[in-house]
Amino acid sequence: MRTGRRGFLSLSLAALTGSVLELADAQVTGMGGRVVAPQPKPKASGRPFSAHFVDVASAAGLLAPTIYGGLDRDQYIIEANGCGCAFFDYDSDGWMDIFLLTGTRLEGAPPGTSNKLYKNNRDGTFTDVTKKAGLEAVGWANAVCVGDYNNDGHEDLFCTYFGQNRLYRNLGNGSFKDVTREAGLVEAETRWGAGCSFVDYNRDGHLDLFVSNYLKFDFQKVPAPGANANCNFKGIPIECGPRGLPFGQHSLYRNNGDGTFTDVSKESGIAKPWPSYGMTVVAADFNEDGWPDIYVASDSTPSLLFINQHDGTFKEEGVERGVALGNDGGEEAGMGIGVGDYNLDGHLDIFKTHFSDDTDVLYLNDGTGNFDDRTVPSKIAVETRFASWGAGIVDLDNDGWPDIFFVTGSVYPNVEKSLPEYPNKSPRILFRNLGDGTFEEIADAGPGISAPHSSRGCTFGDFDNDGDLDILIVNTNEPPSLLRNDLKGNSHWLKVKLVGTRSNRSAIGARVLARYSGRVQAQEVMSQSSYFSCNDSRLHFGLGESAAADISVHWPSGIVEEYPKVKCDQLITIQEAKGVVPNLGWARSA
Partner 1 sequence: MKIKLLRGITLSFLVLSGVIALPAQERIAEKASVSSIEQLIRAHNYDQALTLTRAGLDKTPKDYKLWTLEGIVLSIQGKDSDAIAAFDKALLLQPDYKPALKAEVQLFSKAEDKRGIPLLNRILATEPGDQTAHEMLGVLEGRQGECVAADEQFALSGDGLLRHPESLAVYGGCLEQSGQTQKAERIFTQLSDLLPDRSYPKYNLAVVLVESKRGAEAVKVLEPLLAETPNDPDLLSLASDAYEAAGDTPKAVSLLRQAIVLDPANAAYYTSFAVLCLDHESFQVGIDMIDAGLKRITNDASLYISRGLLYAQIAKYDEAEADFKTAETLDSAQSLSAYAIDLAELQKNSSENALTNVRAQLQVHPESANLHLLLAKLLSGQGLGSGAANRAESHDQAVAEALAAVKIKPDMTEARNLLATLYAESGQYALAIEQCRLVLRTNPDDQSAVYHLIVALRHAGNGTERNEIPALVKQLSELQTVSRQKESDRKRFRLVEQHPVPSP
Q: Which is nearer to partner 1, 1 or 188 (CB)?
A: 1
- Only one of the segments 187-195, 278-286, 318-326, 546-554 lies at the binding site for partner 1 (rule: CB under 8 A); that segment is 318-326
Binding of partner 1 by 381 (CB under 8 A): yes
- Only one of the segments 185-193, 226-234, 460-468, 488-496 lies at the binding site for partner 1 (rule: CB under 8 A); that segment is 226-234
Strands (E), 242-359: 251-255, 261-263, 278-284, 293-298, 304-308, 314-316, 337-340, 349-352
Binding of partner 1 by 434 (CB under 8 A): yes
Phi-psi region of 367 (alpha: psi -120 to 50; beta: other; left: phi over 0): left
Question: What 3 state SS string does 538-586 have?
Answer: CEEEEEECCCEEEEEEECCCCCEEEEEEEECCEEEEEECCCEEECCCCC
- Only one of the segments 36-44, 188-196, 388-396, 480-488 lies at the binding site for partner 1 (rule: CB under 8 A); that segment is 36-44
For 79, list phi and psi in degrees, rounded to 5: -85, -10
- Within 384-403, the residues that bind partner 1 by CB under 8 A are 384-385
Other C-beta atoms lying within 10 Å of the C-beta of residue 199: 29
Binding of partner 1 by 16 (CB under 8 A): yes
CA distance 402 to 398: 8
Residue from 72, 329, 518, 562 binding partner 1 (CB under 8 A): 329
Residue from 109, 271, 319, 520 binding partner 1 (CB under 8 A): 319
Q: Which is nearer to partner 1, 39 or 552 (CB)?
A: 39
Nearest distance from C-beta of residue 282 to partner 1, angstroms: 22
Residue from 2, 221, 311, 562 binding partner 1 (CB under 8 A): 2
- Only one of the segments 42-50, 59-67, 70-78, 84-92 lies at the binding site for partner 1 (rule: CB under 8 A); that segment is 42-50
Binding of partner 1 by 269 (CB under 8 A): no
Give how many residues touch partner 1 by CB under 8 A.
Answer: 66
- Only one of the segments 48-56, 141-149, 374-382, 487-495 lies at the binding site for partner 1 (rule: CB under 8 A); that segment is 374-382
Question: What 3 state SS string does 409-424 have?
Answer: CCCCCCCCCCCCCCCC
Binding of partner 1 by 560 (CB under 8 A): no
Binding of partner 1 by 315 (CB under 8 A): no
Nearest distance from C-beta of residue 421 to partner 1, angstroms: 7
Q: Which residues pair with 444 in a beta bridge?
A: none
Can you spell out the DSSP letters for 378-391? TTGGG--SS-EEEE
Binding of partner 1 by 519 (CB under 8 A): no
Residues 6+ apart with CB under 8 A from 530: 84, 280, 336, 337, 338, 390, 391, 392, 457, 458, 459, 460
Residue 199 near residue 528 (C-beta atoms within 8 A): no
CA distance 243 to 230: 6
Q: What is the strand order of the sheet 470-475 is part of?
A: 53-55, 481-485, 470-475, 455-461
Binding of partner 1 by 232 (CB under 8 A): yes
User: Which H or E element spans position 92?
Assistant: none
The one-letter amino acid code at 227 reads A
Binding of partner 1 by 322 (CB under 8 A): yes
Q: Which residues pair with 362 in a beta bridge?
A: 351
Residue from 290, 377, 435, 585 binding partner 1 (CB under 8 A): 377
Q: Which residues bind partner 1 (CB under 8 A)?
A: 1-13, 15-17, 19-21, 23-26, 28, 35, 37-40, 42-43, 45, 228-230, 232, 234-236, 243-244, 275, 302, 319-320, 322, 325, 327-331, 370, 372, 376-377, 379, 381, 384-385, 419, 421-422, 434, 436, 438
